[in-house]
Amino acid sequence: MAIDFPDSVRELVTRLKKLPGVGPRSAERIAVWLINQRSGEAGLLSGALAKVDQAVSLCRRCGFFMDEGACAACAAADRDRTVMCVVAQPTDVLSIERTGQFKGRYHVLGGTLSPLDNVTPEDLNIDELCRRCGEGSDVTEVVLALGSDVEGEATSHYLVERLVRDGLQVTRLAHGLPAGGGIDHADPLTLMRAFTDRRSV
Amino acid sequence: MAIDFPDSVRELVTRLKKLPGVGPRSAERIAVWLINQRSGEAGLLSGALAKVDQAVSLCRRCGFFMDEGACAACAAADRDRTVMCVVAQPTDVLSIERTGQFKGRYHVLGGTLSPLDNVTPEDLNIDELCRRCGEGSDVTEVVLALGSDVEGEATSHYLVERLVRDGLQVTRLAHGLPAGGGIDHADPLTLMRAFTDRRSV
């Protein structure tokens, strides 16, 4: 009979393999690394996971992560209540915060429309977005900060129709050349959009 | 103040970032994935890690993983006791078992000699290897199955000197062209070794 890892190690490798971006090889490598750490890294990671498993949920209002009943995104009092930025994932909030450019509030959809993966408008946090930006709200601009892939574009188009209301402006992020990217590295679609959206200087 | 993840999520991302092959981006992606799973994947992974943290240790004899006091590699009774295969990591045992080629026993060093990383012979499971293959043992051949990188070669050279004894043959894995690899894809060192070790057909 072939020699194999103990059951507990095999179970760990199986679980690690499911993580996005972790293949069978990486899973084994991570498991061995965790076991070899004398600082008890496996126990610490186990504890961090258990805590997240128990304490973290999605805010029913804005869709961001909520810890022990309080949503930091909703609680932030110093944000501009007239601008709402719509993103697909909670991580997108952090990416935008890092730019330091945006001072308004966020709304996390929890994904983008994708008929192939059976993601319909009902699966996303869209009704609540319409409520937050609807009549009687302070919101005057909704910024759609979704990806420029097919799903992101489809979701943006759908939201433009849903959000239409007097006095509400719907904008989307600019498309064009990425920072530091030369003309020769840009694909034709990016270059086409950069041309279409050109600005006078 | 910028909006950030809840403390528990940030702690999880910090821990995940430490794993080999997991960068800041992947760590965030994995954390978000774990929180979004409705099947409670975070809790299951936490449990698997806690179990490994408590139950798994390295066998003091062969260096393989041991679960609850029993080492599967040492306990295997149907293995050829005259051949000992020396590997660097426990995962290497599985790689060799998958070939179905080797029927002897294993000895895991727990790494390779690396002066740059302060890994000296005392840090590796070498004394026990000498004891297992020494006078009075059944071992007639030691196969050095270490990598062909600088550390692996240095470790092999060191072990050849340490293991010298009447009636004990020390061999190493063949160097040459990898399966499916053409001449044009082989680097000069590989090609040189394939020439040196050529066999009559």
Per-residue model confidence as pLDDT tens digits over B13-30: 999 999 999 999 899 999
Beta carbons of B3 and A93 less than 8 angstroms apart: yes
Nearest Cα to Cα of residue B12 among A51, A195, A60: A51
Hey, what are B30's tokens? 């994995």
Q: Please give the pLDDT value at position B104.
A: 92
Secondary structure in 3-state letters for chain A: CCCCCCHHHHHHHHHHHCCCCCCHHHHHHHHHHHHHCCCCHHHHHHHHHHHHHHHEEECCCCCCEEECCECHHHHCCCCEEEEEEEECCHHHHHHHHHHCCCCEEEEECCCCCEHHHCECHHHCCHHHHHHHHCCCCCCCEEEECCCCCHHHHHHHHHHHHHHCCCCCEEEECCCCCCCCCCHHHCCHHHHHHHHHCCCCC
Which ipTM score applies to this complex?
0.78
The amino acid at residue A129 is: L
Of A20, A26, A56, the CB nearest to B35: A56
Question: Using alpha carbons only, what angle is made at residue B45 by residues A45 and B16, rounded to the nearest 5 degrees?
Answer: 35
Would you call B48 and A72 a contact, using CB atoms and an 8 Å cutoff? no
B89 touches chain A (CB under 8 A): yes
Q: Please give the pLDDT value at position B167.
A: 86
Q: Average per-residue pLDDT in chain A? A: 89
Q: Please give the pLDDT value at position B38.
A: 76
A2 touches chain B (CB under 8 A): yes
Q: How far, in Å, CA of B146 to CA of A119, rounded?
A: 49
Contacts of A41 in chain B (CB under 8 A): 15, 18
Q: Domain A77-172 adopts which CATH fold?
A: Dna Topoisomerase Vi A Subunit; Chain: A, domain 2 (3.40.1360)
A125 touches chain B (CB under 8 A): no
Nearest Cα to Cα of residue A52 among B140, B199, B71, B36: B36
Q: Average per-residue pLDDT in chain B? A: 89
Quick check: A160 pLDDT over 80? yes
Task: Choose from B13, B17, B19, B119 for mutation: most chain A CBs within 10 A.
Answer: B19
Listed by start position, the domains of chain A span 77-172
Q: Which residue of B has its CA nearest to A99?
A: B2
> Quick one: pLDDT band at residue B78, thresholds 50, 70, 90?
confident
Contacts of A55 in chain B (CB under 8 A): 6, 8
Quick check: B165 pLDDT over 90? no
Q: Please give the pLDDT value at position B108.
A: 94
